[in-house]
Amino acid sequence: MKSNIFKVQTIENLYRNVPAEQLKQFQAFRERYPYQIFNLRGISWRVIDTRAGSRVLLVPPGGTGVAEIGWQTLQHLAEKYRVITFDFPPIGRMQELMTGVIELLDRLGFERIDAMGGSGGTLFLQPFLWSYPDRIGKMVLATPIPLENTGGKTVAGMLPILSLIPTRWLRAMLMKSFERLGKGEEENRASALVMAQAREIVQYRLQRKNFIALFSLIADMGTRCHYDPDSVGRWTGKMLLIFGTQDPSTPPEVRAKMSSLYPQAKVVVFEGGSHTIAVTHQKEYFRAIDDFLSS
């Protein structure tokens, strides 16, 4: 009992700098859009389906692999679209993960959808586009990087070691990457909730199998997923790339690389925006996405 009480108090402490109104809105989102469980190829998938809306928007999770960390974006998009999002199940191969998403879309009766991803979600959507260009209409990639920049080959070499080290070290490694991307954002009240959620997810919600799967996915991206110019060239859809000038993951050379990979894409760059532009530049960010998807 003591350990449970300590755990609850610790989680509460993670949210001590988050405005009360934000927490209230987040709880309201959870109540309005609860997770559903889908069994796909013998694996349980936690899925959020906002249901309303005739136009479907697929929104994969970011780097934590947990969908609701992006609840503010999901809530906004759900005002106009039927949003489908999910937590990454403990699957370490990108092709298996993509096959599961295709099966989910087929089961829900969606042949062609639009898609939007931020941060780690863009690492899923890029090979998804290369593999299934006929299933996607429009695509938004926010704070995206080329898959070759994920360090996948390095992680692949480390997998035998990662499978042996203590879980607390895996938690520390993943959290360190989020803190690097969110550096300087803790004092920004708009970003406080995102950072608190990331800590709760990494410290309390993800299990060892989830960490191993996430690292295995990164390794798989770097060794098995390759940019396909033919698929991109025959794709008839449209793309929007969104960047922030102060995002450490997308310096000018990375932004230039992404633009060269997707020459048909419209590019929007937010001056002074960091990796958390979805919350720090929220109005302008949502406006850019809405304008693109409605055009």
Q: What is the CATH number that goes with domain 2-294?
A: 3.40.50.1820
Tell me the pLDDT tens digit for each residue of 125-149: 999 999 999 999 999 999 999 998 8
This prediction has a pTM of 0.89
pLDDT exceeding 90 applies to what percent of the chain? 68
Judged against a pLDDT cut of 90, whether residue 11 lies above it is answered with no
For the chain, count helices (H), then strands (E): 13, 8
Pairing verdict, β 43-49 and 36-40: antiparallel
Tokens 């005002």 sit on residue: 79
pLDDT of 263-278, one tens digit each?
Answer: 999 999 999 998 889 9
CA-closest candidate to residue 175, choices 143, 206, 199, 139: 199
At 188, which amino acid appears? N
pLDDT tens per residue, range 88-133? 999 999 999 999 999 999 999 999 999 999 999 999 999 999 999 9
Taking a C-beta distance cutoff of 8 angstroms, is the pair 119, 64 a contact? no
Buried b (16+ CB within 10 A) or exposed e, 101-120: bbebbeeeeeeebbbbbbbb
> What gap in Å lies between CA 146 and CA 255, rounded to an integer?
9
Q: What pLDDT score does 198 carry?
A: 86
> Which residue ranges make up each domain of the chain?
2-294
Give the alpha-carbon dihedral of 148, 153, 156, 157, to 10 degrees: -160
